[in-house]
Copies of this chain bind each other. A is one copy, B any other.
Amino acid sequence: MVSMKDVARSAGVSVSTVSNVLNRPDYVSAANRIKVLDAITRLGYVRNNAARQLRDGRTRTVGLVVLNIANPFFIDVIRGVEETLHRAGLSVILCNSDGQPLREESNVEMLEEQQVEGVLISPVDPGSAWLAKLGDRGVPIVLLDSRADGSGQCSVSVDDVLGGRLAASHLLEQGHERLVYVSGPPLLHQVTERREGVLAAMTEAGVPADRLTVIECSELSFGAGCDAGERLLGIRPRPTAVICANDLLALGVLQVMFANGVSVPGDVALVGYDDIDFAAGSAVPLTSVRQPRYELGQTAATLLLHEVDDGPDEHEHQQIVMSPELVVRASSSPAHAGWSRSQSPWSRSQSPWSRSQSPSVRR
């Protein structure tokens, strides 16, 4: 472990001079600067961050805790956050709570011990006591994809009730009346709010609430979606449309529908949520509710920056709510659905890649 003292000795100067070379190079004569820089590379010296931040209190680091790193939705959020904060000279410590309150708590505890200057978090439970504690201690917090109730905190979220309503209205307009909502962990307000939106749309359309069946999944993943698909098969009377709490669930459901010979959207219409890249490229291109993912991260990071810079007193908290947008594709719309049935538009002669041109596959 080579320290400034070693560099100083090796260069024949004092530690102060070494420090000056690193932090205020113009205070040092050219000769000494060269000697010091030379010694640094020769000994392979690296700054000790712990000592630095102990000395001057600032860490220039913030924490980012996401709900589920396996969800492509959060990947774009992360990108938005990191790019914004790096531009401002802050480092980001990325944590994954994986939807588990315990992991979330231990993550935040760790971040606090690291003396982060702020925390961006998509909380499992936004009302948890220790989250409030964290705020009381003076650590700036911005809720990500979650709405702060009072005005005591900043938050950036997307209107999930609206999203649910968009998805459901779209299906109701096409005459569907037996809906299924494939939900996630009830602790996640996102998924319950989306369900509320679905119910609101049904009420508006005059469809009784008991026409909605809810399947609950323990997590928002492809695997959980497959399980939900299996359960879906057993529901009587058959639903004609399915709304999933996110695209991963929807892709899992879609997979099981295929495996069991259920046509989408022929037998059942399917709508996802998030509009991840794979949604467009799946077995049947997936209708989905698009969220401004990158902007979500970007905006949250900007709010945090303001709060960090303004200081705790002078800061005015903001609750920003963004709007989602429905993207209609084949999975919910007969008009787009041609190709998933036998009347596929390109399985005929007009294919630009006709069979006669390409050597046929032997076997």
Residues in chain A within 8 A of chain B (CB atoms): 1, 44, 46-51, 53-54, 57, 59, 69-70, 72, 75, 78, 82, 91, 93-94, 96, 109-110, 112-115, 133, 136-137, 174-178, 222-223, 233, 237-240, 251-252, 254-255, 258, 260-263, 265-269, 277-278, 280-285, 334, 339, 341-347, 350-355, 357-359, 361-363
In whole angstroms, what is the CA distance A48 to B137 when docked?
A: 14
Task: Give the contacting residue for A70; candidates B57, B72, B281, B284; CB below 8 A.
Answer: B72
18 A-B contacts (beta carbon < 8 Å)? A46-B112, A46-B113, A48-B115, A49-B50, A50-B115, A69-B75, A94-B94, A223-B277, A240-B361, A254-B281, A258-B339, A261-B347, A262-B352, A262-B353, A263-B353, A265-B361, A266-B355, A268-B353
In whole angstroms, what is the CA distance A174 to B361 when docked?
A: 7
Q: Which residue of B lies closest to A136 (CB)?
A: B44
- Across the interface, which residues of B come within 8 angstroms of A70, CB to CB? 72, 75
Q: A112-B46, A115-B49, A262-B346 are in contact. Are A268 and B358 (CB under 8 A)?
A: yes
- Across the interface, which residues of B come within 8 angstroms of A277, CB to CB? 222-223
Q: Is the CB–CB distance between A281 and B266 below 8 Å?
A: no
Task: Give the contacting residue for A281; candidates B136, B282, B363; CB below 8 A.
Answer: B282
Q: Is the CB–CB distance between A50 and B54 below 8 Å?
A: yes
Known: A46-B113, A237-B357, A278-B278. 10 other contacts (CB 8 A): A48-B54, A48-B113, A93-B93, A174-B363, A240-B361, A251-B281, A261-B351, A281-B283, A283-B284, A342-B342
- Across the interface, which residues of B come within 8 angstroms of A75, CB to CB? 69-70
- Across the interface, which residues of B come within 8 angstroms of A351, CB to CB? 261-263, 267
- Across the interface, which residues of B come within 8 angstroms of A282, CB to CB? 278, 281-283
Give the distance to chain B from A227, nearest Cβ to Cβ, in Å: 13
- Shortest 7 CB-CB distances between A and B: which pairs? A261-B346, A175-B362, A342-B342, A255-B281, A49-B113, A262-B353, A238-B358
In whole angstroms, what is the CA distance A343 to B341 when docked?
A: 9
In whole angstroms, what is the CA distance A319 to B239 when docked?
A: 54
Give the distance to chain B from A363, nearest Cβ to Cβ, in Å: 6
Q: A341-B347, A358-B238, A363-B174 are in contact. Are A267 and B353 (CB under 8 A)?
A: yes
In whole angstroms, what is the CA distance A109 to B45 when docked?
A: 12
In whole angstroms, what is the CA distance A197 to B282 when docked?
A: 29
Q: A44-B133, A91-B110 are in contact. Are A269 and B361 (CB under 8 A)?
A: yes
- Across the interface, which residues of B come within 8 angstroms of A281, CB to CB? 222, 251-252, 254-255, 282-283
- Across the interface, which residues of B come within 8 angstroms of A237, CB to CB? 357
Q: Which residue of B lies closest to A48 (CB)?
A: B115
Q: Is the CB–CB distance between A238 and B346 below 8 Å?
A: no
Q: Is the CB–CB distance between A51 and B54 below 8 Å?
A: yes
- Across the interface, which residues of B come within 8 angstroms of A278, CB to CB? 222, 251, 278, 282
Q: Which residue of B lies closest to A248 (CB)?
A: B277
In whole angstroms, what is the CA distance A262 to B114 when docked?
A: 54
In whole angstroms, what is the CA distance A347 to B136 when docked?
A: 60
- Across the interface, which residues of B come within 8 angstroms of A345, CB to CB? 261
